[in-house]
Chains A and B, each alone.
Chain A
Amino acid sequence: MSNSQPQPSSVPILKRTLVFGFLYAAAIAVIGGGVAWLSVGAIGALSVVIGAVMAAVFLGITALSILIAIKYDIVAFFAIVLGAWLLKFVVFLILAVALRDQPWINTTSLFLALIAGVIGSLVVDVVVVMKTRMPYISDPNG
């Protein structure tokens, strides 16, 4: 057996979810930003863009952490995945508190964009996983 470890079957799927998640966030930023610009003004558009970026980054961290952790053994794998999860929520809370009272932020637009981004990217993830072919048994070394 060669020394090179075959990549697990989850890698291409996780990469696809990352790419499509970011594309979806870009769509939210453009469309939502346009709607917010018309209804609230430039502050609303900026808030929607920030909300969409936050949704994409914070949801992308899960997939990214799995992609990074896949190279390590099972203990390190779960430590990295769950550690990234915990850290992400701490950073999210700090960002939310810091952004809330800024004069250049429209809180409602920001958090509505965030919720739209989170729910939409779940749909994107499920569709990507359903549409991608995944071999049933793929990891000879486990």
Chain B
Amino acid sequence: MDATSVLAEINGNIATVGYGLAAIGPAIGVGIVVGKTIESVARQPELAGRLQVLMYLGIAFTEALAFIGIATYFIFTK
């Protein structure tokens, strides 16, 4: 029996697994950003405006990671 036939057979595109891996980082990032913003607004509601802007920056940086992760797949698989 050949060594490869012992392993479980996997069908489909490996890029799907790649997208799953690429989704983990932004998911954790956005979770932390939003969670900390909720915590901060609950502590100091008068700072809500300022915190919303910081949250926006945090989300923008995190989502950039996800966009680039998805886009690179389409560049490299021609």
Interface of A toward B, CB cutoff 8 Å: 8-11, 13-14, 17, 55, 58-59, 62-63, 66, 70, 74, 78, 81-82, 85, 88-89, 92-93, 96, 100, 107-108, 110-112, 114-115, 118-119, 121-122, 125-126, 129, 134-142
User: Are B48 and A125 closer than 8 Å at their CB atoms?
Assistant: no
Minimum C-beta distance from A27 to chain B (A)? 18
Interface size range of chain B in the complex: 20 to 34
Question: In whole angstroms, what is the CA distance A108 to B64 when docked?
Answer: 18
Minimum C-beta distance from B59 to chain A (A)? 6
Minimum C-beta distance from A137 to chain B (A)? 5
Which of A66, A118, A141 makes the CB contact (< 8 A) with B64?
A: A118
User: Are B52 and A118 closer than 8 Å at their CB atoms?
Assistant: no
Interface of B toward A, CB cutoff 8 Å: 30, 34, 38, 41, 45-50, 52-53, 55-57, 59-61, 63-64, 66-68, 70-72, 74-75, 78
